Amino acid sequence: MPIYDYRCTKCETVYDVFHKGKEIQEDIVCPSCGSTEHKKLMSVPSVQIHESSGSCSSAPSCESGGCCGGACGLN
């Protein structure tokens, strides 16, 4: 069930719409002004990868120079 980003062409508000099935244009309403005039935005999909070989919760973050087993490829 995808979530899409939209920009209202009336008030320029950016908002998300969660589609339970097929995208229906009448269901897309700006939460700020109530307009149904919008533009669908291009967004990057979110991907989560879980490592099953152990816990990384105590490992330092990539920003501080450490990485959880080098999985991010930055270090």
Cα 2 to its chain centre, rounded Å, is 10
Instruction: Report yes or no on 59 lying in a domain.
Output: no
Instruction: Report yes or no on 20 lying in a domain.
Output: yes
Instruction: Report yes or no on 8 lying in a domain.
Output: yes
Domain of residue 19: give its range: 1-43
Instruction: Report yes or no on 33 lying in a domain.
Output: yes
Query: Using CA atoms in the order 59, 62, 67, 72, what is the torsion angle rounded to 10 degrees?
Result: 130
Say how far apart CA 69 and CA 74 lie, in whole Å.
Answer: 11
26: domain CATH number is 2.20.28
- Number of domains present in the structure of the chain: 1
Residue pair 40/47 in contact by the 8 Å Cβ criterion: no
pLDDT band at 45, cuts 50/70/90?
A: confident
Q: Does this model's pTM top 0.85?
A: no
Residues in CB range of 3: below 8 A, 6 or more apart: 16, 17, 18, 19
pLDDT tens figures, 6-33: 999 999 999 998 887 787 788 799 999 9
